[in-house]
Amino acid sequence: MTHVARARLSDGREIVYFDATDEGRDRHRDARPAEARAGAAELRRDVTTGEWVSVAANRQSRPFLPAATDCPLCPSSDGRTTEIPAPDYAVAVFENRFPSFGGPPESESIMDDSRRPSVGRCEVVCYTSDHGESFSGLDPDRVRLVMDAWAHRTAELSRDPNVEQVFPFENRGEEIGVTLHHPHGQIYGYPYVAPTTRRMLDVAREHRAATGRDLFADVLESERAGERVIAANEHWTAFVPVAARWPFEVHVYPHVQVPDLAALPERHRDAFGPLYLSVLRALDNVFEVPMPYVSGWYQAPVRTDRDLAYLHLRLFSVRRAPGKLKYVAGSESAQGAFVNDVPPERAARLLREAM
């Protein structure tokens, strides 16, 4: 059973601890003096695409690659206080001090149809108090605890009237743009349905109208019968998709259709860790260096098209060869038209061999 404890940081932000036992984390008080919180971002709509952009000037002052001795995600200790006011922790989730969405609004008024104050929520998920660890170094029990934290936050954020989609994700590696080395991820409570999710659900709707079947279930069935599967167990399959955009891209599907992590059965939560850890370790083994990656959970929007969605995880790396990265340059950045230098079948074979 996962134990949940809540507390408040000195500036009013919430922190939630997840433990395998009742450790009373909520009894640790944040000793830092109260400071005013940074103002919220502003949402602006690109009228040529219909997509929203968050203008978040407050993020310019966030920490950038601090020394391990100055890490804000390590536990607090005598003489040094951090974002986590406890001498140790298992998994901790707190409101981001420098949010892309949400935060205390500077104005409640709607400025016009294409500009409005930001709503939503951004949270930081610390997987362990060990600064030198990585997700791939966790044990399956800790991964299960992280999954429970993801599911808990998904359910809670989905009740926020300002949140339309919940997206738990992890960035790993300076090549990706990580600014804190402590093993952590984030959760975005978007105030809109993200463009990629919207496009996928539109295609899923077209597929259902044309075939009467579920798009994602058909993808999983097709991939499980093919040569790009890299790992599988009774409840999950990990594969390189046939049209992978990135040099190393892996999709991980449960063998049950559910809209989000909060709806994922217990047996699937138990079975995820061993499989996912094998995928992450294979990525690191391919070139015998830590692989930079982005990993994120694709969940149903909170209020729309939940019947069309199929919870799954997508992971990709920009490393295409030893010492070489794929840069998202002209075609990809300007037009979203990807060119992949590594055939998906070769990537799948390399990952299987690295396990």
* Catalytic sites, residue numbers: 184
Residues 98 and 63: beta-carbon distance below 8 Å? no
Rounded distance between C-alpha atoms, residue 65 and residue 68, angstroms: 9
Q: Which residue has the tokens 């310019």?
A: 60
| Three-class secondary structure of residue 336 per DSSP | coil
Q: Which residue has the tokens 């981001």?
A: 96
Residues 299 and 283: beta-carbon distance below 8 Å? no
Q: With the C-alpha atoms ordered 207, 211, 215, 219, is the resulting torsion angle positive or negative?
A: negative
Q: How many CB atoms sit inside 10 A of residue 105's CB? A: 15
The closest alpha carbon to 250, from 215, 274, 292, 280, belongs to 280
User: Do β-strands 229-232 and 248-254 pair in parallel, antiparallel, or remain unpaired?
Assistant: unpaired
Q: With the C-alpha atoms ordered 166, 172, 173, 176, is the resulting torsion angle positive or negative?
A: negative
297 Cβ contact list (under 8 Å, min separation 6)? 150, 167, 168, 169, 261, 311, 312, 313
Q: What is the Cα 184 distance to its own chain's centre?
A: 10
**CA distances to 186, 230, 236, 297 from 316, in Å:** 16, 14, 18, 12
| Three-class secondary structure of residue 181 per DSSP | coil
